[in-house]
């Protein structure tokens, strides 16, 4: 049993929502830039299997979420799925995700999903409504995703899921973080009328030759010229202000 699976995000994660739940023990999308995966591998004994790459539902996660919601009378919150894992990892049973969404919605809360699982998430759109948010991570060109996110759903699948969410009356958003290809992000801002909110950041924990101040300024210019709602994340805003 997990005593308090629903928690208040801290630091960078606080920018995303009121509360959050991590449903699985890790993520098997294999993203090369993943900080959580890198830290887990760092502390895995030499020759051992990194548990992060073999995700399973956290013990008793569904019932633990239900108990905490009832015990603390959690309601009227936006609950993020997920920070330290993906709510739709590859090739495993994601029924726990669906059950947790049901519990969150039944208690008068709303869900904010962020996934690289693409159209695997569409199954659960019948549970979501106008107060919920469905988002995907997009870092750059499709070939960048193939290289840096080898087991995640491809870019087309993520776009299909966004379009399906919009058609279902669910608010859509994109996390442009980390950014690998700036030109692709500029094009997305200019063309993707089906995205209700852009959250734009930078690359953290890995070297990059991108001029982040110029990138941030260009994103703001494009969002405002195209009437896109946007949020510049703190790390990128600091670069734009010359504080980094």
Domain positions in the chain are: 6-240
Question: How far, in Å, CA of 215 to CA of 232, rounded?
Answer: 11
Q: What is the pLDDT of residue 1?
A: 65
CB 131 within 8 A of CB 176: no
Beta-strand relationship, 110-115 and 6-7 = unpaired
CATH of segment(s) 6-240 = 3.80.30.30
Q: Is the peptide bond before 56 cis (omega within 30 degrees of 0)?
A: no
Question: How far, in Å, CA of 19 to CA of 166, rounded?
Answer: 24
Which candidate, 91, 94, 85, places its Cα nearest to that of 115? Answer: 85
Q: What is the pLDDT of residue 45?
A: 52
Ranges of the chain whose pLDDT falls below 50: 43, 48-49
CB 74 within 8 A of CB 112: no
Q: What is the pLDDT of residue 91?
A: 92
Which candidate, 229, 231, 166, 169, places its Cα nearest to that of 200? Answer: 231
**Residues 136-194: tens digit of each pLDDT:** 999 987 887 778 898 999 999 999 999 999 999 999 999 999 999 999 999 999 999 99
Displacement of CA 60 from its chain's centroid (Å): 23
Q: What is the pLDDT of residue 32?
A: 85
182 backbone dihedrals φ, ψ, rounded to 5°: -70, -35
Residue tagged 């094009």 (tokens): 187
Conformational region of residue 205, where left means phi above 0, alpha means psi within -120 to 50, and beta covers everything else: left
Residue tagged 């009832």 (tokens): 70
Residue tagged 């994660």 (tokens): 13
């Amino acid at each position: 049993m997990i005593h308090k699976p629903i928690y208040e995000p801290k630091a960078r994660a606080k920018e995303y929502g009121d509360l959050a739940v991590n449903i699985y023990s890790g993520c098997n999308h294999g993203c090369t830039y993943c900080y959580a995966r890198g830290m887990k591998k760092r502390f895995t004994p030499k020759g051992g299997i990194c548990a992060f790459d073999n995700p399973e539902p956290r013990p008793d996660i569904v019932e633990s979420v239900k108990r905490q919601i009832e015990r603390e009378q959690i309601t009227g919150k936006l609950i993020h799925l997920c920070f330290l894992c993906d709510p739709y990892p590859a090739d495993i049973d994601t029924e726990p995700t669906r059950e947790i969404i049901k519990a969150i919605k039944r208690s008068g809360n709303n869900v904010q999903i962020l996934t690289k699982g693409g159209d695997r998430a569409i199954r659960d759109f019948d549970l979501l409504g106008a107060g919920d948010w469905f988002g995907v991570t997009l870092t750059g060109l499709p070939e960048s995703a193939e290289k840096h996110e080898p087991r995640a759903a491809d870019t087309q699948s993520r776009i299909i899921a966004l379009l399906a969410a919009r058609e279902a009356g669910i608010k859509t958003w994109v996390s442009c973080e980390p950014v690998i290809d700036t030109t692709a992000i500029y094009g997305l801002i200019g063309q993707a009328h089906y995205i209700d909110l852009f959250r734009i950041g930078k690359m953290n924990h890995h070297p990059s030759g991108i001029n982040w101040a110029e990138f941030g300024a260009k994103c703001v210019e494009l969002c405002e010229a195209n009437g896109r709602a946007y949020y510049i994340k703190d790390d990128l805003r600091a670069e734009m202000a010359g504080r980094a």
